[in-house]
């Protein structure tokens, strides 16, 4: 009915206006900047593909993208390996009346500032941090270990944060599994390992994929953790973009690099979406 249609548009228009103002228009502006020329410290409104050609031609830009993908992939793998057992324990071993309390404890890291968590890890891993101080006091090492300002520290900081995010998405999938499936498989003589491999794991994979994608999106575009824990020893894509803005004020090049990173994220999104769609169509 016309009245219902008008009311429906009234509910949707604020969200559409917000998306248009703060996503679509900035994205179009960034796309225009990426196709403009930067010369003599000024942006010239001359349409060109020079920024994309420069990104491909300069090895350090491509290496920054590779570094970001490697760090993100390692973070995703470690986070899944840590989050899945935790989510499984919350779903199947913690009593139902205690699960809400356990979930609140699991999301407590989200209540702390992201910047504070990064600096906290720096205090733990630095030359005079807790770990090195304990090792030196125990006589295990004679000189402080280089635990901070490297790729390992960046991955550790990422994993600490994203493990909890993955735990929530995997837990949401695990609790939706019908417990009768497990009981029927056990009655048919299946072992616990076989039940997990043939029932629990396949049915929880959508939650794993969704959580892994969210982890990938946030980690690949993160600037704070690599800057604090990585110490600038390894150039990642967000840092390379920020250098173009803060040091060179080269907005066209920064826009082109941002769009390249967005294209990579989009490819991963379409791959995950296709996998989920094929899986849902194959399910009975």
- Domain range annotation of the chain: 58-282
Residues 6+ apart with CB under 8 A from 52: 34, 256, 260
Cα-based angle 88, 94, 100 (whole degrees, multiple of 5) = 100
Q: What is the pLDDT of residue 104?
A: 86
Report the phi/psi class of residue 222: left, alpha or beta, with left for phi > 0 and alpha for psi in -120 to 50.
beta
- Picking from 58, 39, 36, the residue whose alpha carbon sits closest to that of residue 248 is 39
Q: What is the pLDDT of residue 2?
A: 55
- The fold adopted by the segment(s) 58-282 is MetI-like fold (1.10.3720)
| 183: its two tokens | 């009981």
List beta partners, residue 42.
Answer: 39
Q: What is the pLDDT of residue 17?
A: 92
Contact 199, 181 (CB under 8 A): yes
Q: What is the pLDDT of residue 6?
A: 67
- Picking from 279, 252, 272, the residue whose alpha carbon sits closest to that of residue 32 is 252
Q: Kindly give the confidence (pLDDT) of every residue in the chain, 284 residues in length, as a single tens digit, with 9 standing for 90 and above.
A: 555 666 777 788 888 999 999 999 999 999 999 999 998 788 999 999 999 999 999 999 999 999 999 999 999 999 999 999 999 999 999 988 888 888 888 887 777 788 888 888 988 998 888 898 998 898 888 888 888 889 999 999 999 989 988 999 999 999 999 989 999 999 888 899 999 999 999 999 999 999 999 999 999 999 989 999 988 788 999 999 999 998 889 999 999 999 999 999 999 999 999 998 888 776 65
Residue 77 exposed, middle or buried by CB count within 10 Å (0-12, 13-18, 19+): middle
Give per-residue pLDDT as tens, 12-70: 888 899 999 999 999 999 999 999 999 878 899 999 999 999 999 999 999 999 999 99
Q: What is the pLDDT of residue 284?
A: 54
What's the 3-state SS for the chain?
A: CHHHHHHHHHHHHHHHHHHHHHHHHHHHHHHHHHCCEEECCEEECCCCCHHHHHHHHCHHHHHHHHHHHHHHHHHHHHHHHHHHHHHHHHHHCCCHHHHHHHHHHHCHHHHCCHHHHHHHHHHHHCCCCHHHHHHHHCCCCCCCCCCCCCHHHHHHHHHHHHHHHHHHHHHHHHCCCCHHHHHHHHHCCCCHHHHHHHHHHHHHHHHHHHHHHHHHHHHHCCCHHHHHHCCCCCCCHHHHHHHHHHCCCCHHHHHHHHHHHHHHHHHHHHHHHHHHHHHHHHCC
* pTM more than 0.75: yes
Q: What is the pLDDT of residue 259?
A: 96
Taken in order 69, 230, 227, 81, is the CA torsion positive or negative? positive
| 164: its two tokens | 């909890």
Report the phi/psi class of residue 41: left, alpha or beta, with left for phi > 0 and alpha for psi in -120 to 50.
left
Q: What is the pLDDT of residue 238?
A: 94
């Amino acid at each position: 009915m016309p009245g219902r249609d008008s009311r429906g548009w009234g509910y949707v228009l604020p969200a559409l206006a917000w998306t248009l103002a703060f996503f679509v228009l900035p994205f179009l502006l960034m796309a225009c900047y990426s196709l403009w020329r930067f010369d003599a410290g000024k942006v010239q409104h001359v349409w060109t593909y020079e920024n994309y050609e420069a990104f491909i031609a300069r090895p350090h830009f491509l290496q920054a993208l590779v570094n970001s993908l490697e760090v993100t992939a390692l973070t995703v793998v470690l986070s899944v390996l840590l989050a899945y057992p935790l989510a499984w324990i919350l779903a199947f071993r913690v009593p139902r009346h205690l699960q809400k309390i356990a979930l609140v404890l699991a999301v407590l890291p989200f209540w702390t500032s992201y910047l504070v968590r990064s600096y906290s890890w720096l205090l733990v891993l630095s030359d005079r941090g807790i770990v090195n101080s304990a090792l030196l006091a125990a006589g295990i090492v004679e000189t402080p270990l280089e635990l901070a300002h490297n790729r390992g520290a960046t991955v550790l900081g990422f994993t600490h944060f994203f493990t909890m995010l993955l735990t929530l998405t995997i837990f949401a999938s695990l609790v939706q599994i019908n417990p009768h499936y497990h009981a029927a498989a056990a009655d048919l003589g299946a072992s616990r390992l076989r039940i997990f491999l043939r029932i629990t794991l396949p049915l929880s994979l959508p939650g794993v994929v969704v959580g892994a994608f969210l982890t990938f999106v946030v980690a690949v575009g993160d600037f704070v953790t690599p800057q604090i824990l990585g110490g600038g020893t390894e150039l990642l894509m967000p840092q390379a973009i920020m250098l173009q803005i803060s040091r060179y004020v080269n907005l066209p090049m920064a826009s082109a690099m941002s769009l390249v990173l967005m294209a990579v994220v989009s490819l991963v999104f379409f791959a995950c979406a296709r996998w989920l769609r094929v899986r849902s169509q194959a399910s009975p």
